[in-house]
Structure 1
Amino acid sequence: MRRSVLPRLAVALAFAVQAALVALLFAVYGYGRHLADGRPDVAFANAERVRDLQRVLRLPDEAALQEAALRWDGWARIANEYYVRVHFPATFLFLGWIWFWRRAAWPRLLAVVALSLAVALAIHTLYPLAPPRLLPGGDFVDLMNVYGPSSYATEPGEGMANQFAAMPSLHVGWAVLVAWGVIRYGRGRWRWLAVAHPVVTLLVVVLTANHYWLDGIVGSVIVATALAVTVRLERRRGPARAGLSVRRDSVGA
């Protein structure tokens, strides 16, 4: 009986260690975002630059899109709920699924999460960006404050959340990661429905005026680049492991 209990304890301990590591990554990221807050003048100036660049790229105007969508505002609270309540639970459920049922992929996914957090924190620090909902002029409606629920304080600078960290959008970036992981490691035709998650997330973050198109694009590029880096690292480790195995065999012979 002891033999059957020990492996379970080992798995539980390993999971607790990995869960603590993930929690530590998020805690460092959250505290780093908070420390990066406090440059509103730069954040608003960067917002104008982002909007100018989007015009050059001919991306759809977020304000006009939101105005058209608000002709029927029944979706507003649903979108806010999606923004507030889906992002982290979906990400953590995905990581839990990877840990328990696709264990071999865990190191790669953990590396992608860590890399994306590090890059995002660097951008938050070097390039503060005011979200559309905070821009003066009344072009945007702050749906989270008007319809609720909101994950932010009423005024920027209050609470722990850095409201000038719109770039990049990890809501979109990690939605891409979740969709990629479900399709890559899942089974059956239903896994392709995961594509809807990043599409809906991008529309939600833009229509709620929490992010610009470029925030979502950059968040997606960060995750895609991190995935590409992990592929290269795995390919380098493959020959190294093969060489180590050959050396061991030769020594054993």
Structure 2
Amino acid sequence: MLQVLLMGVVIGAYELGRHFADGRPSDAFAHARWLWDLERTLHLPDESAFQKWSLGWDGWVRAANEYYVRVHFPAIVLFMGWMWFRHREGWPRVRVVIAVTAAAALALHFAFPLAPPRMLPGHGFIDLMNVYGPSSYSSKPGEGMANQFAAMPSLHVGWALLVAWGAVHYGRGRWRFIMIAHPILTFLIVVVTANHYWTDGIVGCTIVVVTLWATSRVPALSDRKTERTGMSLRRDSVGA
């Protein structure tokens, strides 16, 4: 129960913090224009062209919106439950990774408010969630609890990568490799629905990868049963 409460506080603080980071639309649109130009300089694919190309296939739009709205939060919650009940040796590390990545993302929301592509005028984006439904935003930008100027970074993509990493790292059997499709599909969907730029997903993944690497260097967060058992025995012998 304590662990459930702790992670509830972490995720709740992140969501509440996103709300308090709202309210700088002029900066958010200026950053969006700057990021758009930067991506073109770096020769990243044009998000609007990708969306237009994708709309050549009928019937997938609502499914993509459903995936964006329905999968992200349940996936990370189920992943935490799976880690706690089935792979307790890795729980301390995963718990820290989720907390640290949420804190890093929140800091970026404050420092770099960013309007998503669907709000960027002059590039032909279609707000697929509002046009086709369902939408995860029940209010206009700047209103309500949801911060629609928090596109950078995308924890939709970052945490999808974490779930896939966890499934491959801790799981058994070939089935676990199916989860590799989760971050790939999530990345494509957040871009094609015009909720994020490519850079948002890249930064979200980078935060997760760096945090995973950093936690791998901390002995107390070792996710290997033998190492953790050895550490416990050493602590017991010192205490004796």
The residue aligned with 2:43 is 58
Aligned to 2:79: 94
TM-score, normalising length from structure 2?
0.92
Gaps of 5+ in 2: none
1:108-147 equivalences in 2 (<5 Å): 108-137=93-122, 139-147=124-132
Cα gap change, 1:154/1:191 in structure 2, threshold over 3 Å: closer, same or farther?
same
The alignment status of 1:210 with 2:195, answered yes or no, reads yes
* 2:132 pairs with 1:186: no
Distance 2:239 2:15 in 1: 49
What do the CA deviations read for 1:64-86 (whole angstroms, capped 9, x no partner)?
A: 01011112341110000000001
Please state if 1:77 is matched with 2:58.
no
Gaps of 5+ in 1: 1-15
Q: 2: distance between equivalents of 1:201 and 1:137?
A: 26
Residue deviations 1:4-23 (CA, integer Å, cap 9, x gap): xxxxxxxxxxxx11111111
What's the CA shift for 1:48? 1.0
Closer/same/farther in 2, CA of residues 159 and 250 from structure 1, 3 Å limit: closer
Q: CA deviation at 1:37?
A: 0.3
Show structure 1 runs of 4+ deviating over 2 A: 234-252
Matched, 1:173 2:173: no
Shift of 1:241: 9.4
Aligned length: 237
1:221 is aligned to 2:193: no
Q: Distance in 1 between matches of 2:238 and 2:9?
A: 42
Q: Which residue pairs with 1:12 in the alignment? A: none
Distance in 2 (CA, whole Å) between partners of 1:240 and 1:150 is 44
User: What do the CA deviations read for 1:152-203 (whole angstroms, capped 9, x no partner)?
Assistant: 1341012100000000000000000000000000000111111000000000
Q: Are 2:21 and 1:29 equivalent residues in the alignment?
A: no
Identity %: 58
1:159 alignment partner, SS class: coil
CA 1:235–1:250 in structure 2 vs 1: closer, same or farther (change >3 Å)? Answer: closer
Structure 1 distance, partners of 2:232, 2:88, is 23
Give me the CA root mean square deviation. Answer: 2.2
With 180-189 and 23-32 compared, the bigger mean Cα shift is at 23-32
In 1, are the aligned partners of 2:92 and 2:221 still within 8 Å (CA)? no
- Change in 2 beyond 3 A, CA 1:235/1:30: closer
CA contact (8 A) 1:131 1:211 kept: yes
TM-score (norm 1): 0.88
The structure 2 residue matched to 1:164, chosen from 127, 149, 167, is 149
TM-superposed deviation, 1:245: 5.4
Tell me which structure has the larger Cα radius of gyration: 1
Q: 2:91 aligns with which of 106, 117, 138?
A: 106
Is residue 215–residue 221 contact of structure 2 (8 Å, CA) maintained in 1? no
Moved more, 193-202 or 151-160: 151-160
